[in-house]
Structure formats: structure tokens, C-alpha cells
Amino acid sequence: MSDQYANAQALVSTEWVASHLGDDSIRLIEVDVNPDLYAAGHIPGATGWDWHRDLQDPVMRDLASREALATKLGEAGVGPTTTVLLYGDSNNWFAAYAYWALRYYGLDQVKLVNGGRVKWEAEGRAYSSEQPSVAATSFQFPNPVRDQLRAFRDQVKEQIGRSALVDVRSPGEFSGELLAPENLPQEGAQRGGHIPTAANIPWAQAVREDGTFKTAEELRGLYGGKGVGPDRPVIAYCRIGERSAHTWFVLSELLGYPDVRNYDGSWTEWGSSVGVPIEK
């Protein structure tokens, strides 16, 4: 089924990973919603990234810098010909966020492990608690920053009524009843609701129970049924940008939509900003 995707090379299966453990041409990196999971057990040979510490700027509300992520890749032993394989819990929420960040900063040799921890565990595959020993490199991103993959607040404001806006949060967040996912503290924004004209297509509708992505035909029906197609620009957002990075991956990488951006400021920025409209 993966050959139906626009970029089937953006994914690898758990079966493929299991048969290539120890391959020096790849580096596995685990990025979880719950960073403690890595220490409890991870795919053998995988390095763990903490999204709070490694993917976020410690001072500004922003992505970790290009230099900081280059350093992290070097610490993981990534060289100019290495392929980075990302996976994690929660159907690859933050693994997709890391994928988007690395593509944004100019890396091409990066893939998601389809299904992540959910599928690896369902198949009864072994975990390791050993920290891998790798030779560090002096990694540099091979390509320029891809500004076309990211949206900022003022760009989003200008695109209301022009671009297709996709709110990938839960219906409760979209309606304004909740400010965050139900299992999290209800804080982080002054107001609830959604950006005007946005369609609510929760991110999890794109995956099956085992965490793998639905077929291209199913995905085209899901987004096309809400008026989100390849014929106009798309901006995806959620609360802090990780769930929308998952949807960005679906639309950009799997369906091949030509102009898709992730608004990683998302609702924690928009819902607290002065001078921007909301709907409930």
C-alpha cells in the first residue's frame, strides 16, 4: 500500500528496521511525548531525544536552533551519508515534529518508522535499555533552511480565507470547550476556539489502530471531504505544533500536496495574541 504514497521513501516499516539493526548507514532516534519511555526501553541502537530539552529553544518560544540540532545529530553519529530514522510513542507525534524540524533545517535523508513504538510493541519486538555507543561527528545541514515549510502568526492571519487552514486538535479544543487535550492541564492560552475558516480534521484520523498511516486513497478522502486538497496552500496547526507536524507529514510527504506549512506557534500563540480573530 505504501507505493500509493507520493513519497513512499519517507517511511520505513518496523519489519525493515528489525532486519537492519546494527546497520551503520542508519541512525535510529526516538522522540516521545513521554521522554521517560526511552530509558525504560527502546529499539536497540536508538538514541533518545527529549522534545522539551532538545527540540525547543531554552529561552525563546521557538524551535531549537539549526546549530543546536546539528550538534544533536552529530552526537548521534549522523554523517553526510547517514539516513536518520525517527520514531516514538503516541503514533509518532513528536517523531513527526522532529522530522518536520529536520526537513525545515535542510535534511533530506530522514524517514519515519511507520507505526512507531505502538507497532513495535504490538509485534512483540525486543527493547533494549542500553545507551548506544557511537562516534560523534561534526554534522552540518547540507541544504538551506526551507522557509516554505513553516508558517508564522502574521502569515496565518494574512491567509485566512485564502489558504486551507487545518485545525488538527480534538473537537473539544476546536469548539473552545477545551484549551488543551483532555488529559492535560487546561492552560496555555487566554481564549478557546479556532482560527476562522479552519476545518477540524483531528490528526489521529490519519492512522490505524496499530499506529500506521492509512492508505493514500483513504487519506485523500479524509482531507478532500473537508475541502482540503492540493489545489491551494494549506496551513496546519494544533496547540504547540507537534500534532500539526504529523498532519503536515501526511499532506506534504504522503499525499504530495505542493504547498503545506506547519504553524508551530499554534493555539498557545494564537489564543493569547492581541489583534487576531477567533471563532467558537
pLDDT (tens digit per residue) in 203-236 = 999 999 999 999 999 999 999 999 999 999 999 9
What is the identity of the amino acid at 224?
G
Q: Are residues 100 and 23 in the same domain?
A: yes
Same domain, 128 and 258: no
Query: What pLDDT is recorded for position 179?
Result: 84
Same domain for 103 and 218, yes or no, is no
- Give residue 182's pLDDT band: very low, low, confident or very high (50, 70, 90): confident
> Edge-to-edge strand order for the sheet containing 11-12?
11-12, 110-113, 83-87, 26-32, 47-50
For residues 138 and 8, state if they share a domain: yes
Tell whether 96 and 215 lie within a shared domain: no
Report the pLDDT value the prediction gives residue 2, as an integer from 0 to 100.
Answer: 43
Q: What is the pLDDT of residue 102?
A: 98
Residues 7, 137, single domain; the answer is yes
- Is there a catalytic annotation at residue 2? no
Cell numbers given for 130? 542500553
Annotated catalytic residue within 238, 245, 251, 278: 238
Amino acid at 233: P
165 shares its domain with 136: no
Q: Residue 187 has what pLDDT?
A: 75
Q: Which domain holds residue 53?
A: 2-145
Do 113 and 17 reside in the same domain of the chain?
Answer: yes
Interval 97-121 mean pLDDT = 98
DSSP per-residue letters across the chain: -GGGSTTGGGEE-HHHHHHTTT-TTEEEEEEESSTHHHHH-BSTT-EEEEHHHHSB-SSSSSBPPHHHHHHHHHHTT--TTPEEEEE-SGGGHHHHHHHHHHHHTT--SEEEETTHHHHHHHTT---B-PPP---------SS---GGGB--HHHHHHHTTTSEEEE-S-HHHHHTS-SS-TTS-S-S-SS-SB-TT-EE--GGGGB-TTSPBPPHHHHHHHHHTTT--TTS-EEEE-SSSHHHHHHHIIIIIIS--SSEEE-TTHHHHHTT-TT---B-
What tens digit of pLDDT does each residue of 7-30 get?
999 999 999 999 999 899 999 999
Cα–Cα distance measured from residue 29 to residue 87, given in angstroms and rounded to the nearest whole number? 7
The pLDDT tens digits of the residues spanning 230-265 come to 999 999 999 999 999 999 999 999 999 999 999 999
User: What's the pLDDT at 82?
Assistant: 98
Tally of residues, the chain? 280
Residues 130 and 213 reside in one and the same domain: no
CATH number at residue 41: 3.40.250.10
Is 278 part of a structural domain of the chain? no
62 & 163 share domain: no
Q: Is this structure's pTM higher than 0.85?
A: yes
The number of angstroms, rounded, from the C-alpha of 201 to the middle of its chain's C-alpha atoms is: 16
pLDDT band at 86 (very low <50, low <70, confident <90, very high): very high
Is residue 270 pLDDT above 50, yes or no?
yes
pLDDT score of 183: 77
Band (pLDDT 50/70/90 cuts) for residue 1 is very low
